[in-house]
Structure 1
């Protein structure tokens, strides 16, 4: 009696693909769940103008925010001189570069790079070292946590090529953005009309807050004038509480300094 041969496919030819697909699905679901939790529970706990700065709709992560994220993700940092970058850009005078490596326990989670130039920090070596390490640290945190679509590394990324050309007081005062110089449209009005205009702009306490245009412009100026991270962050913190007049005075001061 003839027997019909039956093809038997070993489990080993099927199971690995099933396991891989299921593992992939679980991994994706887990990643999405973690991300959703971060956006709903962790992100709101980061303080604007302290842990990050929002300019032109992009969040620029500050050192304090990076430290909080590193703590939440249980990451520790080490720094090494970035010889590869310095050798690749050897024509750039007085550049200091670092690689920041983030660990969880003994496992490497990610790396980031940062550089700073001595001449842009008024020849202050300590400032230049801090700036390079800060940039590397923030870069490493953003890369390791996968939050590059939420946070940018620094203000230069937010402003793009606009920041490559310093803002000159003469250009500004010649009318490039005249409304930003004082943002006080009551100037030139009769005294009685000016008083009414100012009353309309004030809140219940009589305080007239700086406009969004003034605050955005001040952020640009501060990012150009101050290279010490802590000093820059302190300056950013003061912007939100400025009046229109104070913002106007500070803009003029920074433009002419």
Structure 2
């Protein structure tokens, strides 16, 4: 009994080891630089043109880019807090997201989406954009990605040239239609106003997109492009949506 008490006493009398007052790298410089080079190499090989979008001449990563990176690094994301805030000119969703790596390192980020940022058709779409932004931020902060995501930058209706730069494939049929030169004739500034889609075309497109596109982000991205379409582009898109089969 005396031996046990002595052992316990000695255990509690152990003085803590003082850590360095400086913030130090967790590994040596060579390993850090090697890891950073590997990360940049991974970005070039893993991410494709379709994972980015050009907005006002700048290139921004989309949701798909951050999901690929999260998968590659084994990053998990968890919603820690969610709030719907009522405002004078609408409402906003604010979401706090925590991302964590297999090593135990984590990052907490906050993002929001306002109901008047775009022509949202559903309340759930506002929340979905807020969640996407929060997830993108949490992943980006954890891996050291400093630029904002495309979903954060797309807060207004894009200009006609603010479209994805990747080549069209059978799956991205929307971009294929609006990027086809035959559907986008060259026109002068004086002709633009008279060649924009009609109000009937606009109403029908908004209705079709809301009815047929189930993914919230894809739906909102397509709605954001509607007002920049010409009559020919709108006609082609309406025809395609009426004949296309959706899951």
Per the alignment, do residues 78 and 41 of structure 1 end up closer, same or farther by CA in structure 2, a change over 3 Å counting?
A: closer
Cα offset, 1:95, TM superposition: 0.7
Q: CA deviation at 1:96?
A: 0.7
Aligned to 1:242: 179
Q: Whose Rg is larger?
A: 1
SS of corresponding position for 1:98:
strand
CA contact (8 A) 1:118 1:124 kept: no
Give yes or no for the alignment of 1:218 onto 2:142. Answer: no
Q: Which residue of the partner structure matches residue 96 of structure 1?
A: 93
- Note the C-alpha offset of 1:54: 4.2
Aligned pair partner of 1:255 in 228, 239, 247 = 228
Equivalent pair of 1:79/1:99 in contact (CA under 8 Å): yes
TM-score normalised to the size of structure 1? 0.51
The C-alpha deviation readout for 1:115-154, integer Å capped at 9, x for no partner, is 1123434351121111110111111111111021xx4322
Decide which of 134, 150, 160 is 1:136's aligned counterpart. 134
Q: For the structure 1 residues 37 and 101, does the alpha-carbon distance in structure 2 shift closer, same or farther, using more than 3 Å as the test?
A: same
Q: 1:59-70 residue pairs with structure 2 within 5 A?
A: 59-70=59-70
SS in structure 2 opposite 1:69? helix
Deviation for aligned residue 1:110: 1.1
| Structure 1 position 108, deviation (Å) | 4.8
Cα 1:124–1:235 change in 2 (3 A) is farther
Q: Which residue of structure 2 lines up, in the alignment, with residue 80 of structure 1?
A: 80
Pair 128,33 (structure 1): closer, same or farther in 2 beyond 3 Å? same
Q: Is the 8 A contact 1:102 1:140 kept in 2?
A: yes
Q: 5 Å matches for 1:95-174? A: 95-105=92-102, 107-119=104-116, 120-148=118-146, 151-154=147-150, 157=153
Match of 2:239 in 1: none
Aligned partners of 2:99, 2:152: CA distance in 1, in Å? 24
Over the aligned positions, Cα root-mean-square deviation in angstroms equals 4.0
Report the CA distance between 1:252 and its aligned residue: 3.5
Structure 1 CA distance for aligned equivalents of residues 45 and 184 of structure 2 = 28
Distance 1:156 1:64, change over 3 A: closer
Higher helix proportion: 1
CA pair 105-26 structure 1, distance change in 2 beyond 3 A: closer
**Structure 1 residue matching 2:49: 3-state secondary structure:** coil
Where in structure 1 are there 5+ consecutive unaligned residues?
1-15, 168-215, 223-232
Counterparts in 2 of 1:32 and 1:81: CA distance versus 1, 3 Å: same
